[in-house]
């Protein structure tokens, strides 16, 4: 399956399994392209695959809402 076929198929079905195949075979370029064509944000695509890391957002919210300075998590 070519990248064009895979992206077209994902944009029609929005199946996470297809997105995972695109990510493994074509890397971040294919992943970003598939998300763009499907009309979703990369963050939503990462959430579909279960690889979204939101520690930066949590740190930002803690600082803004509570004035708490958090340590960098490792």
Q: What is the pLDDT of residues 7-39, one digit of tens each?
A: 999 999 999 999 999 999 999 999 999 999 999
Enter the tokens of residue 39: 């009309």
pLDDT digits (tens, 9 = 90+) for 43-57: 999 999 989 888 888
Enter the tokens of residue 3: 């990248």
Distances (CA, A) of 6 to 28, 29, 41, 72: 14, 13, 18, 38
pTM of the predicted structure, to 2 decimals:
0.72
Q: What size, in residues, is the chain? A: 74
Cβ-based neighbour number of residue 16 at 10 Å = 14
């Amino acid at each position: 399956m070519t990248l064009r076929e895979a992206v077209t198929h994902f944009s029609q079905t929005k199946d996470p399994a297809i997105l995972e195949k695109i990510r493994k075979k074509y890397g971040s370029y294919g992943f970003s392209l598939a998300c763009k064509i499907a009309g979703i944000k990369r963050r939503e695509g990462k959430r579909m695959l279960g690889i979204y890391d939101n520690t930066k957002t949590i740190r930002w919210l803690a600082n803004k809402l509570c004035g708490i300075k958090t340590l960098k998590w490792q």
